[in-house]
Amino acid sequence: MYAVIKTGGKQYKVTVGQKLKVEQIPAELDSQIELNEVLMIADGESVKVGTPLVEGAKVTAKVVAHGRGEKVRIFKMRRRKHYQKRQGHRQNFTQIEIVAIA
Task: Spell out the residues 6+ positions from residue 32 whose beta carbon is closer than 8 angstroms to its own.
Answer: 60, 61, 62, 99
Terminal CA-CA length for the chain = 10
Q: Write out pLDDT tens, residues 8-63.
A: 999 999 999 999 999 999 999 999 999 999 999 999 899 999 999 999 999 999 99
- DSSP strands (E only) in 1-102: 2-7, 10-15, 19-23, 32-35, 38-43, 46-49, 59-68, 72-78, 83-89, 92-101
| Local confidence band at 85 (pLDDT 50, 70, 90 cut-offs) | very high
* Total-model pTM: 0.86
